[in-house]
Homo-oligomer: A and B are copies of this chain.
Amino acid sequence: MKLTRASDYAIRGVVYMAMQSPGAIVVIPEVAREMDVPVGFLARIFQSLSRIGIVVSHRGKKGGYSLARKPEEITLCDVIEAVEGDIRINTCLNGYSECNRMSFCPVRRELAGVQEDLVKSLQKSNFAELAAREKAHRESRQA
C-alpha cells in the first residue's frame, strides 16, 4: 500500500514542469537538481511519462521535455499510473486472475470499491494547484 520512489520522483518532476511557462522545454538535470531527485533515475522516469503522453520529449541539442497537457489536466493518478501501471490494489482485480474464488469472492468486491475510491481520490488534485504552492514557497524564500 505504498507508492514507489519512482512515483514520488515523477510527481515532483511534473510539479516542476507545471511551474514553467506553457510550452517551456526543460532539461532533466535541472528538474533533478531543483526537485532533489537522482538525475539518472529521473531520466528513466521521464521516458515513462513521455510514452504515456504526460510530457513531450524533444531530442537533440536544445532538447529536453515540455508538458504535453495543461497542468490543470494532469492528476496524481495520471502520473502514478504512468510510472507504476494501472492501479490494482489486489492481484485479483487484474482482469485475468487465477484465483478460483474470483466469481463470487466478497473480499474481491469490497477491494474493488476501495480501489475505486482510491483512484477517485488521486484524481481530485491537479498539478496546477501543486505547482502554485511550490512556486509560492519559492517566492517567499526569495524575499
B-contact bits for A4-47, CB 8 A (1 contact / 0 none): 01011001100100000000000000000000100000000000
A106 proximity list for chain B (CB < 8 A): 15, 129-130, 133-134, 137
- A:89-112 near B, CB below 8 Å: 89-92, 99-101, 104, 106-107, 109-111
Taking a contact as CB atoms under 8 Å apart, the answer to whether B114 and A130 are in contact is no
Q: How many copies of the shown chain assemble into the complex?
A: 2
A52 proximity list for chain B (CB < 8 A): none
Kindly state whether residue A143 has any CB partner on chain B within 8 Å: no
B-contact bits for A103-143, CB 8 A (1 contact / 0 none): 01011011101100110011001000110011001000000
A80 proximity list for chain B (CB < 8 A): 1
Considering the complex, give the chain B residue whose CB is closest to the CB of A1: B87
Point out residues on A near B: beta carbons under 8 Å. Answer: 1-3, 5, 7-8, 11-12, 15, 36, 76, 80, 84, 87-92, 99-101, 104, 106-107, 109-111, 113-114, 117-118, 121-122, 125, 129-130, 133-134, 137
Please name 10 pairs of A and B residues whose Cβ atoms are closer than 8 Å in the assembled complex, sorted by A. A1-B1, A1-B3, A1-B89, A3-B111, A8-B92, A36-B101, A106-B129, A110-B125, A118-B118, A118-B121
